[in-house]
Amino acid sequence: MGQYIELTHSNFDETVKEGVALVDFWAPWCGPCRMLAPVIDELADEYHGKAKICKVNTDEQEELGARFGIRSIPTILFMVNGEIKDQLVGASSKPVLQEKLEALLGKS
């Protein structure tokens, strides 16, 4: 059973440097973020061993939010080998997230 990876300043680069990663920038007080949370959990299960499903709490990791220019949450970055390939701002549906992950997995 997969579980999302909680990213911090200390483990971010090491975690996303290889393979495909979905990085969800969120905060506990954000309604759309809370709506998206079960989808992120499901994706972590479904993509265990294929892609890294990660979350960054922007309240606790302000420097990461600033580093990536996160202006509103939720913001989801899709990364391949540490490089941003796509980005979504706002709550998205599971099929949209799956489609983007599948496209990146096909290219990696």
pLDDT in tens, 76-106: 999 999 999 999 999 999 999 999 999 999 9
- Catalytic site residues? 30, 33
Rounded CA-CA distance 108/104 in Å is 6
Mean pLDDT of 5-10: 96
Q: Residues 37, 70, 89, CA angle at the centre, nearest 5°? A: 55
Give the integer Cα–Cα distance in Å for 106 and 108: 6
Token reading at 100 = 């983007």
**Euclidean distance between the first and the last CA atom of the chain, given in angstroms as a whole number:** 23
Cα angle at 88 between 34 and 55, to 5 degrees?
A: 45
Q: Residue 107 contacts by C-beta under 8 Å, 6 or more apart in sequence?
A: 80
Domains with residue ranges and CATH for the chain: 5-107 (3.40.30.10)
pLDDT tens for 32-66 read 999 999 999 999 999 999 999 999 999 999 999 99
Please give the model's pTM, rounded to 2 decimal places: 0.95
Q: For the stretch 6-37, what's the b/e string if a residue is b when 16 or more beta carbons lie within 10 angstroms of its beta carbon?
A: ebeeeebeebbeebbbbbbbbeeebeebeebb
Can you tell me the distance from the alpha carbon of 68 to that of 52, in angstroms, rounded to the nearest whole number?
Answer: 18
User: What pLDDT does 108 receive?
Assistant: 56
Mean pLDDT on 19-31: 97
